Structure 1
Amino acid sequence: MTALVDPTVPEGFRSGFVSLVGRPNAGKSTLTNALVGEKVAITSSKPQTTRHTIRGIVHREDLQLVLVDTPGLHRPRTLLGERLNALVAETLGEVDAVGFCIPADEAIGPGDRFIAQQLAALRRTPVVGIVTKTDKVAPEQVAAQLLAVTALGDEVLGPENGGVGFAAVVPVSAVAGRQVDDVLSVLSGLLPVGPPLYPDGELTDEPEAVMVAELIREAALEGVRDELPHSVAVVVEEMAAREGRREDRPLVDVWANLYVERDSQKGIIIGKGGSRLREIGTRARAGIERMLGTPVHLDLRVKVAKEWQRDPKQLGRLGF
């Protein structure tokens, strides 16, 4: 990636890449959006929401921090899970620092320890422990979790394993907007001195079609709870400005397919008389229009791709 040369960049300007990792539903995407100040990653109360590495770009007068929000590291049970973990491992090899997100409202468990062990292999890349979701617990519980996270870093990432523990441990509530700047300050201090990597004002390098697909998938996951596992994939087949419209009344047509693994899941997505699919379309269209800044006509179709999470050919067709 070629850095942009700009003689107006202040002396000591820092820029670089930081990857946010953590087990599924640890608050990584919400923190990414809070740091960037705009929605660039989808969020959901269900685990394994993120399927792609979304780069969110944080611009400040003295720094540019490119956040890489990865899928949640987990012990894989499907080929999709294996590919998502491989995506995380590849990402970690290319960043300047790592933020390890651990929720304040859940005890440190085997999943966190598994991730810490993966991070121990990085050696030279500094890792920051980030205690997320602090708005969900009392202050004394936050304090206890900070101590527990520090102890985890000392044990798994410490001198006995060739490391130095966490570079820092920081609490944050991305939802409440508390201590988000503290996280930014700590992470930016670990970046190398260098010019900006992206133009000012650019918030993500994800193609619009990928962002649109993610917004549709987020809408599809909303409110489903446990009746529909994360077997939903979205492919945007076509996006185009409608011809013949006046300049002051533009309209973008979006044609997209939602793929599930079984006929029973297709029924859940569509709902009685198509009611749920209409809700998904309404919710997704609002997010897409905010992102594109123009009215959108959204055409959604639901299709079955049997056991696609375990089928290499299906995964390839669906962008994995």
Structure 2
Amino acid sequence: MDYTNTPEGFRSGFMCFVGRPNTGKSTLTNALVGQKIAITANQPETTRHPIRGIVHRDDAQIIVVDTPGLHRPRTLLGERLNEVVKDTYADMDLIAITIPADEKIGPGDRWILDNVRKVAPKTPLMGIITKIDKVSRDQVALQLMALHKLLGEDSEVVPVSAVTGEQRDILLDVITSLLPEGPKFYPDDHVTDDDTNTRIAELVREAALSGLKDELPHSVAVEVDEIIPNPDRPGTLNVHVIIYVERPGQKTILMGKNGRRFKGIIHAARPQICKLLDSNVYLDLRIKVLKNWQSDPKQLGRLGF
């Protein structure tokens, strides 16, 4: 299929959501693309690498890039994630600042905006108020005014709920209007350019992060070791996955009492991996200690950071 033939006036381009951790960027990415391509969790810095999701419209192709949140780094991993984010910003056709409806704009949001303007001074900006299903319409109106004040009165600002879908189509219309005219970059059946192993690793990491708090989520990394046919069960794939943590005590937490949490990770991740691979799956999961991997250049490189 020649997907480069596009109608006159067709718009296309790359855009990303930026904002503090937990402002709903990954949830919004999934809502716009129409299927889950980015994992979501209640911990900061859940997203670890730019994820591209493709939104197909009759009049446009929007490539939404979900990035790690820009933050003040505490580890070598944090520094490298920030560099990835800044490199991503520089290549965008549109950048959208995300602000949750239920939190006031603060110094962290201004710090992010300042950094975006330094890295991508000529890239058009817009604002998005996320999580509008959590607050009253009056609160949404106040947040709209505050974000207009932050970005400039002429900036486009759209309130949206990724959970209920309210304003989703309006947001896509506004994004489309701000993108340049151009060709399709991907075939019509493409939803992401993430490879299969990365998506599997992310699904396992999401299951592992579920219900965790404090520092442990930052210490969890996941790697797919191999995917091979099960020799004893035709039509079944053996998916071998390793979860890395930094200290033995963290392994104990992930295992849980009598291995219950560990079994829960497999139970949560396996059906999604089956769906992704369109196959029955035996998920072989192991947890290994990789001491202080977040600050070890060699281990970071091995894990793809």
TM-score by length of 1: 0.91
Equivalent runs, 1:186-225 vs 2, <5 Å: 186-225=174-213
- Structure 1 residue 176: Cα displacement: 1.2
1:286 aligns to what? 271
Query: Deviations along 1:43-66, whole A, 9 cap, x unmatched?
Result: 011111100100000011111101
Of residues 151, 154, 157, the one that matches 1:153 is: 151
- The percent identity for this pair of structures is 56
1:59 correspondence with 2:47: no
1:175 aligns to what? 163
Q: Following the alignment from structure 2 to structure 1, what is the Cα–Cα distance between the partners of residues 253 and 233?
A: 36
Q: Following the alignment from structure 2 to structure 1, what is the Cα–Cα distance between the partners of residues 255 and 75?
A: 26
CA contact (8 A) 1:126 1:167 kept: no
Secondary structure of the corresponding residue to residue 47 of structure 2: coil
The 1:7–1:313 alpha-carbon spacing in structure 2 relative to 1, beyond 3 Å, is: closer
Secondary structure of the corresponding residue to residue 224 of structure 2: strand
- Structure 1 residue 229: Cα displacement: 3.6
- Structure 1 residue 226: Cα displacement: 3.4
Q: Following the alignment from structure 1 to structure 2, what is the Cα–Cα distance between the partners of residues 234 and 58?
A: 28
Equivalent runs, 1:231-310 vs 2, <5 Å: 231-243=219-231, 246=234, 250-310=235-295
1:162 aligns to what? none
1:117 correspondence with 2:114: yes
2:135 aligns to what? 137
The 1:268–1:147 alpha-carbon spacing in structure 2 relative to 1, beyond 3 Å, is: same
- Structure 1 residue 314: Cα displacement: 1.4
Q: Which amino acid aligns with 1:224?
A: L
Query: Deviations along 1:182-206, whole A, 9 cap, x unmatched?
Result: 1111111122212210011110000
- Structure 1 residue 6: Cα displacement: 4.2
Equivalent runs, 1:17-96 vs 2, <5 Å: 17-96=14-93
Q: Following the alignment from structure 1 to structure 2, what is the Cα–Cα distance between the partners of residues 138 and 55?
A: 32
Q: Following the alignment from structure 1 to structure 2, what is the Cα–Cα distance between the partners of residues 67 and 149?
A: 21
Q: Following the alignment from structure 1 to structure 2, what is the Cα–Cα distance between the partners of residues 81 and 189?
A: 34
Point out where structure 1 has 5 or more consecutive residues left out of the alignment.
155-164
Q: Which amino acid aligns with 2:134?
A: K
Q: Following the alignment from structure 2 to structure 1, what is the Cα–Cα distance between the partners of residues 293 and 50?
A: 20
CA contact (8 A) 1:56 1:66 kept: yes
CA contact (8 A) 1:129 1:166 kept: no
Runs of 4 or more above 4 Å deviation: 4-8, 243-246
Point out where structure 2 has 5 or more consecutive residues left out of the alignment.
none
Q: Following the alignment from structure 2 to structure 1, what is the Cα–Cα distance between the partners of residues 41 and 68?
A: 13
Secondary structure of the corresponding residue to residue 116 of structure 1: helix
Q: Following the alignment from structure 2 to structure 1, what is the Cα–Cα distance between the partners of residues 175 and 207?
A: 31
Q: Following the alignment from structure 1 to structure 2, what is the Cα–Cα distance between the partners of residues 197 and 181?
A: 21
Q: Following the alignment from structure 1 to structure 2, what is the Cα–Cα distance between the partners of residues 226 and 6?
A: 46
CA contact (8 A) 1:266 1:302 kept: yes
Q: Which amino acid aligns with 1:113?
A: R
Q: Following the alignment from structure 1 to structure 2, what is the Cα–Cα distance between the partners of residues 207 and 123?
A: 31
- Structure 1 residue 9: Cα displacement: 2.3
TM-score by length of 2: 0.95
Secondary structure of the corresponding residue to residue 64 of structure 1: strand
- Structure 1 residue 271: Cα displacement: 1.0
Q: Which amino acid aligns with 1:133?
A: K
CA contact (8 A) 1:238 1:256 kept: yes
Secondary structure of the corresponding residue to residue 300 of structure 1: strand
The 1:6–1:255 alpha-carbon spacing in structure 2 relative to 1, beyond 3 Å, is: closer
- Structure 1 residue 228: Cα displacement: 2.9
Of 29-38 and 190-199, more deviation after overlay is shown by: 190-199
Q: Following the alignment from structure 1 to structure 2, what is the Cα–Cα distance between the partners of residues 131 and 262?
A: 38
Q: Which amino acid aligns with 2:171?
A: V
CA contact (8 A) 2:47 2:68 kept: yes
Q: Following the alignment from structure 1 to structure 2, what is the Cα–Cα distance between the partners of residues 172 and 56?
A: 18
Query: Deviations along 1:27-78, whole A, 9 cap, x unmatched?
Result: 0000000000000000011111100100000011111101110001111111
- Structure 1 residue 166: Cα displacement: 6.3
CA contact (8 A) 2:222 2:242 kept: yes
